[in-house]
Amino acid sequence: MDNYDKLVERISRSANITKEEIDRKVEAKRAKLSGLVSKEGAAQIVAAELGINFDEEKMKLSELVNGMKKVNTTGKIIRINPIREFNKNNRQGKVASLLLADETSNARLVLWDTKHIELIEQNKLKENDVVEITGGNLRNGEIHLSSYAEIKLSDKKMENVVTTQVFAQKDLKEVRPGETVSTRAVIVQAFEPRYFEVCPKCGKKAIENECKEHGKIQPIKRALLNIVLDDGTETIRSVMFGEQINALGLKDEEIFSLEEYAKIKSSLLGEEKIFSGQIRSNQLYNTTEFTIQQIENIKPETLIQELEAKSK
């Protein structure tokens, strides 16, 4: 089940009404709002109208939906990323992030409060620790903790957690920024690759053979490729890097030479595959974009299952 199905199931249990009835209420709510909210968002509104308050409930990671203001959950830390320093709008600070998982899904957890970050710096929060989260908020598919939220160690044991990234299967017309989704789609437009250079040590963007962290370096050339996908319900501009470009069948010499790329560009059009990644909002151009993280070929058995499902 995807997030919407699990959310509907939870509402059904709490309100003691059928999932079919909740589905009807959700579609009616979306129609009333001219389709401006996602199915998950409409389900949250329906839940509130039914007197269900998720703010006080502890939820599984797979049940969390973008826009939730008070996220209460428990998960196991399976990865801690390096703490970053930032200087934005004359404000300096630190931000930490880690990957939290339970038996249903996983999600990125972002810490902004210095006291929370100190728990990592002082090794009081480590990989494989189980933690309880109270008062977080979910935006762009991530759980964010401010100074008003709480993170603490839990006595709960978690063994079989989901360590691989989870993608919800969705039609492109249904996607919203922040969601990690998977869709079967066709490439209908392809653009020329763009090139940039990165530091060989940290992978961050290099400018004039220099990395902010490692100084003078011998940078590595990287490429990004923009394409337009169409799944039959909507089109979306998409971007992919490195291995994902190779997954389309392009060799490095075809990627890093515009002359060679021009020879094979037309062969990309009409390619149908399963694309997975994150939906993001491009604020510069006020558009929604798809950052592709995985590309899979369509298996014959998948087509057979779809045909069988439609014939029922």
Question: Residue 292: which CATH number?
Answer: 2.40.50.140
Answer yes or no: do 127 and 225 share one domain: no
Answer yes or no: do 292 and 172 share one domain: yes
Residue 290 is predicted with a pLDDT of: 95
Q: What is the DSSP string of 128-173?
A: T-EEEEEEEEEETTEEEE-TTSEEEE------S---SPP-EE--GG
In the structure encoding, which two tokens stand for residue 52, read together? 């269900």
pLDDT at position 30 over 70: yes
195-237: pLDDT as tens digits: 999 888 887 888 888 888 888 999 999 999 999 999 999 999 9
Answer yes or no: do 198 and 250 share one domain: yes
**Amino acid (one-letter) located at 124:** K
Range of the domain at 9: 1-52
Q: Which residues of 232-245 are buried (b: 16+ CB within 10 A; e: fewer)?
A: eeebbbbbbeeebb
Q: How many domains does the chain have?
A: 3
pLDDT at position 7 over 60: yes
Least confident window among 47-51, 55-59, 208-212: 55-59
Q: How confident is the model at residue 307 (pLDDT cuts 50, 70, 90)?
A: low
Please tell me the distance from the alpha carbon of residue 137 to that of residue 144, in angstroms, as a whole number.
5
Answer yes or no: do 59 and 185 share one domain: no
Answer yes or no: do 16 and 124 share one domain: no
Answer yes or no: do 144 and 200 share one domain: no
Answer yes or no: do 186 and 147 share one domain: no
Give the phi and the psi of residue 244 in degrees, each rounded to 5: -65, -35
83-111: pLDDT as tens digits: 888 776 677 888 999 999 999 889 889 99
Answer yes or no: do 157 and 226 share one domain: no
Please tell me the distance from the alpha carbon of residue 110 to that of residue 81, in angstroms, as a whole number.
10
Answer yes or no: do 157 and 183 share one domain: no
- Residues 6 or more apart whose CB falls under 8 angstroms from that of 237 comprise 226, 227, 228, 287, 289, 290
> Which is nearest to 230 in space by CA: 258, 269, 193?
269
Answer yes or no: do 252 and 277 share one domain: yes
Residue 33 is predicted with a pLDDT of: 87
Answer yes or no: do 125 and 196 share one domain: no
Answer yes or no: do 90 and 207 share one domain: no
